Amino acid sequence: MARTINQAGLDLVKHFEGFYAQTYLCPAGVLTIGYGHTGRDVVLGQCIDQREAEALLREDMEAACAAVQRLVTVELNDNQFAALASFCFNCGSGNLGVSTLLKKLNHEDYDAVPGELARWSKATDPATGVKRTLPGLVRRRAAEAELWLLSSESESVEEGAVPSMPQRLEPPADSVRYEVIARSGLKLRGGPGQEYETLEVLAPQQLVATGRQRGEWVEVDK
């Protein structure tokens, strides 16, 4: 029987993907819309509402869940399955299929999974082709690991809650957090220049982590 992601896992995915009504380029340079939806059906200038985004997410999660069910040969409880479904949705079934994580898990090394998840915190910069650690991926992998560790049937994540980041996993040392002070908020653009579309406006007092600087522009991760 086909398994589905539980509510805790779905909340985690929606939290880290965020809802975007318009297409944008993700840090890896892939056109994305809604809750992390990608594919040939995503085009520049496309707009969708939240209902459409949730429908796309359900379809995408069905594919991710099917991949986890196909690739993993050991038993998983609902939280463990949800953690891997989130990982698969974010990193792709191909990466899960060739990962050391899967190899260890299928040899019943359940304890190795949190550490293996933490290794998948880098994305390739489309401008340079160099892989770099993204604070957002560090936090996501940590949340997936925490969900994974809720391994007994008596433990569960409260409905609507998102697992917090374990203290043992820290953002990169070169990441500095700043508070947004502009009254009109901070505009996040798809690239370093006014010609790039505004993806989101961060509210005053929100904290952001800084990354590399390109001239007068700096990469941020909320």
Which positions are annotated as active-site residues? 17
Q: Give the 3-state secondary structure of residue 208.
A: strand
Q: Which of 183, 173, 184 is nearest to 209 (CA)?
A: 173
Per-residue buried b or exposed e for 49-85, using 16+ beta carbons within 10 Å of the residue's own CB:
eeeebbebbeebbeebbbbbbebbeeebebbbbbbbb
Helix residue ranges, H only, 18-134: 50-71, 78-91, 93-97, 100-106, 113-118
3-state helix, strand, coil split of the chain in percent (to 5) is: 35, 20, 45
7-17 vs 50-71: helix crossing angle, rounded to 10: 120
103 SS3 class: helix
* Distance of alpha carbon 23 from the chain centroid: 17
